[in-house]
Amino acid sequence: MQLKKKPAAIRQTLAVATASLLGGVAQNANALETSSDWEIDSALLFYAESDRIVLAEPVVRVRKDMGNDRFLTVKLVIDALTGSSANGAIPTASPQTFTTPSGNGTYTTQANEVPLDPGFRDTRGAVNADWELPLGENLTGIFGFNFSNEFDYQSVGLSATLNWETSHKMTTWTLGVGFNADTVKPVGGVPVGLTNMPVLPAIKATEGADHAKDVQDLVLGWSRVLSRRDLLQLSLGYGNESGYLSDPYKILTVVDGATGAPVADPAQRYRYEKRPRDRTRQSLLVRWSHQFENDVLRLSYRYYTDDWGVDSHTLDVRYRFELADGDYLEPHLRYYTQGAADFYHTSLIDGQSYDFASADYRLADMVTTTLGLKYGWALSDRSEFSVRAELMKQSADPSQVIGVQSQQDLVPDVDAVILQFGYTLQF
């Protein structure tokens, strides 16, 4: 591929070099304009898993410069989700029938196929507002509010972030706190964890119509301009979730400990999952950006661990080729590897007792590889159109394979395609 040198890169290289010379971060040349600056970002994202979920997500973000270094940002997101999702039960040699979460009907999965709950249909609306303002010399505050609603889940949150610039703006310290109060109100009520999924027309045991979930987050960040071409960012995250953290629609198959086949009695064959009511997580993120003559390389590594026993490593590489006339091409590679939660069980063994259990493959030993490509067109110096296409493969491993289960692909790979169209405009 012939990649032409982008002329505008002279200005960008110069801006970064001048910032380094003067001991500060690059100024936005657009800041020249008067205080009526608007910036609009819009995107339409499609996410499709093979034979499973399809998601369409329009996003609109509006940022208004209110003058005196104050900015108001409002973001609206709508998620429209359809398709089917793995319900947690294992594939077996004979067809399986499940009661829907509402308790009003059933659905059947063919022999040797992964049971998918076909009733996955949901629309979520979310709004997020941020108010950014200077709090003092070199100190900026960003105060946010967010709200989202879908028919079985509601979330309200507040956040505050302080950015403090030191050493002539070469270093930025960030302190962020966030609090979210969520409500889960599953169809058919909140099932009692690890009780049996009833066979129609029986009624399931519930703990009421809804449950609360609280999420708290603390972030400490540090970023430094190392040279006119290098920026290093470090970020430590600490978070706690408490309340109802299970997935009310996920179940596990109860099997014979010797043969691995599901137990004979259909009323004893499936149980609702149950996760601990508390989760404490920590993360470390290191990000390095390097600007070559024109192109930009961004590398990041994230380590995550929580007290459910999940540890993960994420490596993310993006390389932006600057092309002629402000266009760019950006390949993206992401590699994610995760160790399973302590209570991840592909199936439950009849007669054993469990404190907690989930067969959600997202809590299993897993590797996710994402390969993507983004192309951006500069329509003018104030507007840009972009297209991003990504392929994602998730490969998870079962916690154990007993007897006849070896004849099944207990946790098949999930392939997904992501397509995003974006448009940005400043005026």
Partner 1 sequence: MPDFFLYRRDEGTHSYHAGRFEAMASPCEVLIDSEDGALADKLSHIAQAEARRIEHKFSRYRDDNIIHRINHARGKPVEVDEETADLLDYAALCYDISDGMFDITSGALRRVWHFDGSDHIPSRKAVRNILRHIGWRKIRWQRPRITVPGGMEIDLGGIGKEYAVDRVLRLIGEVSPVSVLVNFGGDLAASGPRRHGRGWIVGVEDPGNIQQHPATVKLAHSREEFELLRGGIATSGDTRRFLQKDGIRYGHILDPRTGWPVPDAPHSVTVAAGTCTEAGILATLAMLHGAGAEAFLREQGVRFWCQR
Please give the residue ranges that form the binding site for partner 1 (CB under 8 A). 7-8, 10-11, 13-15, 17-24, 26-29, 31-35, 67-69, 137, 168, 228, 293, 326, 381
Whether 242 and 277 have beta carbons less than 8 Å apart is answered as yes
The least CB distance from residue 24 to partner 1, in Å, is: 7
The least CB distance from residue 16 to partner 1, in Å, is: 9
Whether 389 and 372 have beta carbons less than 8 Å apart is answered as yes
The least CB distance from residue 320 to partner 1, in Å, is: 17
The least CB distance from residue 136 to partner 1, in Å, is: 9
The least CB distance from residue 325 to partner 1, in Å, is: 8
The least CB distance from residue 281 to partner 1, in Å, is: 39
Residue placing its CB nearer to partner 1 in the complex, 28 or 94: 28
Residue placing its CB nearer to partner 1 in the complex, 128 or 171: 171
The least CB distance from residue 129 to partner 1, in Å, is: 22
CA–CA gap between residue 290 and residue 393 (Å, rounded): 28
Residue placing its CB nearer to partner 1 in the complex, 70 or 318: 70
Count other Cβ atoms within 10 Å, centred on residue 66: 14
The least CB distance from residue 425 to partner 1, in Å, is: 15
Residue placing its CB nearer to partner 1 in the complex, 8 or 56: 8
Residue placing its CB nearer to partner 1 in the complex, 58 or 326: 326
Compute the chain's Rg from CA coordinates: 25
The least CB distance from residue 19 to partner 1, in Å, is: 8
Residue placing its CB nearer to partner 1 in the complex, 278 or 293: 293
Residue placing its CB nearer to partner 1 in the complex, 18 or 123: 18
Residue placing its CB nearer to partner 1 in the complex, 169 or 204: 169
Residue placing its CB nearer to partner 1 in the complex, 27 or 104: 27
